[in-house]
Every structure is written in C-alpha cells, then in structure tokens.
Structure 1
Amino acid sequence: MEEDWSAASNEAVADLLALFNTIFVAYPLHSEFHSRCDFLMKLGRSTQGAPQKGLRVLAPTGSGKTRAAEEFIRMVTESRQSGDEEFPVVLVPLDRATTSRKLFSSILQYFGDEFTISATEAVLKERAYKFLRRFKTLLLIIDEVQHLTSAGSGGDVTDSLKRLLDDGVVPVVFLGTIEGKSLFTRNLQLSGRLLSPCDYRELSSQSATDRGLLSRFAEELDLAIVHKGLMRRPAGLSHPWISGCLHEVSAGVIGRISRIMYVALEIARRRHADCIEVFDLALAVDRWALEQGFTARNPFRSTSPNR
C-alpha cells in the first residue's frame, strides 16, 4: 500500500483532484439555499428601483456554502444563456480588514474593471452601482460576512450595504460562518431589511432523518466519483458503519465529508487502487481531520464495523 510520489503520479493526482472539485452533490440544505436565492432574485426584479431585501445564510465552517453559491451562479448563468455583457449573480468575498472602499473595489474587480487604484470611495460607489445595473445583476452575494464582526471594522461596510439595499440597486445575500451571527443580532436596522434566515445546521447523529440525509449525501458523492471516472468502483460510503464514522468525524457538517474524500481519493490514487477503501478513509482522517482539529479521535480506527 505504498504511495507513489513520483512526478508522473503527482501530475495524475493533480488532474484527478481538479476533476473531483467539479463535483456538486445536490444536498437538501443546498437546494433550499438555491431556492431562496432564486426567490430573492425574482422579488428584486419585481420591485426594481424600490428598496431591496437581503438574506442571511450562516453555516459552520466547511458546510460548502461558498461552493453552493458558485454552483448557483453556474445554474443561473446557464439557464439565462447570459452573454458577455451580463452578470446576473455576483459573488464578492470580504477579508478581515474590509472597508467600504475595498467592498466597492471588489465588486468592480469582479466585472474586470481596473478603475480602482486611486479613486475615492464615493467615485467607486457610484461606479459599482453603475456596473451592477449595466451588467443586469439580479443578486449580489457577499461572502465571509463574519469578518464584519471584527473589532474596529465592519461598521462602514455594513452601512454601505444597507444603503445599497435602500437605494434599490440589487438584493444581497449575506453569506458567512456562524461567528457572524452577532452582526445581525446587534444591528436590527440591517436585520429589518432581511428575509427569514436560511442558515445551515449540523446534522444530528441522534436523528434518524439527519443520519439518512448524511448517508444519502455520502452515497451520491461516492457514485459521482465513479461516474466522473475518478475511481472504478464505489467505496460503499452508505454502509451504516462507514457513514456513522463520517458523521462523527464531520460533526454533521456535510462539506467536511467532501474534504475527507478529497484526501482519501488522493491516497487511493497514489497507491493505484481502483476504489477508495477504509484504509484510505482512516488515513485521510489522520492526515486532515485530526491534524486540523476537526475531531479528537479517528472512529475508523477506534471502532469496529461489527460493533
């Protein structure tokens, strides 16, 4: 079971993992998020020019929320057959030191505009508004909003986003980790402009329904890996013991299962296996989940399939 770290293997593994990153499994919480975004877009179109609404979407780290947002953009773009002159959905990530000026610069950079180096905040704001309208943007997704809760930052950005909604420019999705919740609970003026939250939650191992959701996700991901030609045979992730181990390691956060599979897939490919085995899953948990602090133990090693 020795792993192949040759240059040729590195190239093959890199191509394999790039293909894995194109997989998107339609998971109920992601589907609900897509539906809520679709509704917000249509609501904005029906109230064009009037004050717009926003949507809070908070989730534990590793939930796949950004990936779900990217998939929504792909779906909308393909369904509209948008040309080069249309950006129906715009995704802008924030950083820890975000200012209003950086926010508007990031929006403009998404459109490929380079007029951001020396312009004032007021000029950038006016230009961002103009681009959002010119390119027929129906939804603006602001990612990593938890950074707006950092001490000494975020106030001016929050005010700018409230103003953007009030000016009737575009509806806004506020995407972030659960650490960003205080941004909304302490700012009722912002929360008052939002629809009901669409937060993700961890799937409980004590709930049969949640266990079923996680098992189905794992099974569909397993089959997608085979369908993409990444492995010849499925790993059997829906087996009760395997899905139970994945549930424990991921703490019910779906995106973490994808990350474990990413690492396990690399291990399996480097040893030239035709499917991902428990050996690969156990090693993936050792190398990723334990090392990154996502779990305190490896159930693939500490429990038995026959328990």
Structure 2
Amino acid sequence: MHERTSSEANRVVAEKIGRFREIFIPYPRHIEFHSRCDYLRQLGRATRGQAQRGLRVLAPSGSGKTTAALAFVEAVNRELPPKSTDRPVVHVSLSSATTVKRLFSSILRAFGDGFAERGTEETLRQRALTYFGHANTELLIIDEVQHLNFRSGPKSDVTDSLKALLDAGVVPIVFMGTEEAEGMFTRNLQLNGRLLPPCDYDPLRSTVEEERQLFRGYWERLDQEIVSLGLMPEPTGLHHAEVVAALHTVTSGVVGRISRLTEAALDIALRRDARRIELYDLAQATDRWALPLEFTSRNPFKGMQL
C-alpha cells in the first residue's frame, strides 16, 4: 500500500504523532505509582530535616515509567499558584556511565544553572541542596538510575553517595530504572534500609485473568483516545482475543510498548490515508519497530484473518 512521504505528509504525521505522545492512560499501576510518589512527598514534609526515604521503581524498558513520572510532575505543577517559581517535584534523567558528579550536574541543569559542570563533586552537591531549599522541592525523581550502577572507584560506591543524599534530610528520592539497576540496591543494605517497599512494574501475564483484562483495557482505552483526539476518524475495532494475544506476544505484556507499537502503526496508517489503524499497520509496525529492536522474535499479525 502506498505511503505518502512528502514534506507536507511529514508535517501532518509529525503533528499528529506529537499529540499522540501526549496521551496518558491512567492504568492502575501508574495510579499506584502516583499515590506512592504523593505519599513520599507528604512524608518528606512531615520529616523535614530528618533522614529521608526513597522509593525504588524498576521495570523493563518501554514500561511507561518516564511518562508516568512526567505526568505526576505536571499534575503537581497544576496545583501551584500563577507565577510561582517553586519546583515541588524535580525530574532528572541520566545518561550512560553517569558518575555522582554528573548526577549533581544533571540536577543543577534541571534548575537552569548555567554553570552546572563547574566545581568539585562536593561543591555541586551543596549547590543542588541549596536549589532544593530555594525552590521548595519536596521530591526528586532520578530516572534511568541503572546508568549509576557501577563503582566509581575501588573504595567508592555510588550507592553510598545516594544514601548520603537521603541522609542530608532535604528531599526524598524516587529511583527509577530498568531491572539492570537491581544489583545497585541489593549490594548496599544501608541504602535498601532507607527505601519504602518497591513499586516495580512487572509485565502483565497473559495467564492471569485480571492482568489479561488490564492489558486489554489499556489497548481499548488507547484506541478510544486516538479517535477522541481526532488522530483517526474511526476506532480500530481490533479488540478480538486473537489481536490482544498478538499484542501481548509483541510487547511481552509491557503496556508502554503497546503505545510504542501503536505509534508506529499510526504513522503508517496516516501516511496511507486510512480511516483507522488496521491489521496491516500493526503487522508493518511489528516488522519495522518491534522486530529490529528485538522486542519480539516473530510477527504474529502476519497472515492473521479475522
């Protein structure tokens, strides 16, 4: 099927994909995560000046952790009075091989510090703590924390620095990352002892009825949102058990990957002027996105007849 690739088509598709990415489905595990973040924030208020607590949130890549975190930040910011300069929740995302010094630089950049790279580790740490105080920060979310999962020296472990940051009594911390970060927590029992019960996102299992229904419900709600936002004139109607099972195969039960796969399918459907996302689009999206990135080893949509 012909897909338009002109500059004008690119503009239209990019605008609609941008709107698609703003969709946030309040799926139960994300709601639980928001509740735990709110509790940690409230606990920090009640224990200001004392050693703070942290929250571990680990999940496979594509689980929607970052989307959920940014949605929480946005929800909190909506409560602020007009023209407020407060930053009640600060979200920082780490790049690969991040040292503790780079962590503090990332925090300073989040506050707009123009000299975030200048100074020793301790100097940057003290400046970050000062920003937290001035901005009335009540929660720090460190995303992609697996990039801190290494020792920075023979006698130095990044987990000791994270423990010290909590002990400073300034701000509680949410540690978000992939399963690769688990060893960072298990090797330091003192850091683990400062954490609330984990809020990890496990993939939804197709063998458990409740989880199978959660998975299906997420897909149906996403389909509805696409039509509600005017991204497609008609819903897919692809809610058959066979399609849901195929979606589970491609995404391994990770709901964030449903959104990623659907985004790729929406791109294809828009370029061929379709009125809805069809099996063809899901099959092509699997070939072009899920298979090359090794999220799946086969394409269950190929040859499917409904």
Range of TM-score over shorter length: over 0.9
Find the counterpart in structure 2 of residue 51 from structure 1: 51
CA distance in structure 1 between the partners assigned to 2:82 and 2:189 by the alignment: 36
Aligned letter for 1:65?
Answer: K
Find the counterpart in structure 2 of residue 260 from structure 1: 261
Gaps of 5+ in 1: none
Find the counterpart in structure 1 of residue 117 from structure 2: 117
Gaps of 5+ in 2: none
Find the counterpart in structure 2 of residue 66 from structure 1: 66
Percent of aligned pairs sharing the same letter: 52
Asked whether the 8 Å contact 2:99–2:148 carries over to 1, the reply is no
Find the counterpart in structure 2 of residue 178 from structure 1: 179
CA distance in structure 1 between the partners assigned to 2:151 and 2:167 by the alignment: 26
Asked whether the 8 Å contact 2:150–2:157 carries over to 1, the reply is no
Paired residue secondary structure (1:196)? coil
List per-residue Cα deviations over 1:6-30 (Å, max 9, x = no partner).
Answer: 1110111111111111111111111
Find the counterpart in structure 2 of residue 25 from structure 1: 25
TM-score, reference length from structure 2:
0.96
Find the counterpart in structure 2 of residue 241 from structure 1: 242
Asked whether the 8 Å contact 2:91–2:140 carries over to 1, the reply is yes
Find the counterpart in structure 2 of residue 138 from structure 1: 138
CA distance in structure 2 between the partners assigned to 1:87 and 1:298 by the alignment: 45
List per-residue Cα deviations over 1:248-298 (Å, max 9, x = no partner).
Answer: 110000011100000000000000111111111111111111111111111
Which runs of 4 or more aligned residues in structure 1 lie more than 3 Å from their structure 2 counterparts after TM superposition?
Answer: 80-84, 150-157, 302-305
CA distance in structure 2 between the partners assigned to 1:118 and 1:248 by the alignment: 48
> Aligned-pair distance for 1:304?
4.3
CA distance in structure 2 between the partners assigned to 1:12 and 1:153 by the alignment: 50
CA distance in structure 1 between the partners assigned to 2:285 and 2:34 by the alignment: 30
> Aligned-pair distance for 1:302?
5.3
TM-score, reference length from structure 1:
0.95
CA distance in structure 2 between the partners assigned to 1:237 and 1:186 by the alignment: 46
Find the counterpart in structure 1 of residue 160 from structure 2: 159
CA distance in structure 2 between the partners assigned to 1:113 and 1:202 by the alignment: 38
> Aligned-pair distance for 1:93?
1.5
Residue pairs, 1:93-104, within 5 angstroms: 93-104=93-104
CA distance in structure 2 between the partners assigned to 1:13 and 1:260 by the alignment: 16
Aligned letter for 1:232?
Answer: P
User: Which shows bigger deviation, 8-17 or 152-161?
Assistant: 152-161
Asked whether the 8 Å contact 1:205–1:211 carries over to 2, the reply is yes
Report the number of matched residues.
Answer: 305
Find the counterpart in structure 1 of residue 291 from structure 2: 290
Residue pairs, 1:196-275, within 5 angstroms: 196-275=197-276
Find the counterpart in structure 2 of residue 39 from structure 1: 39
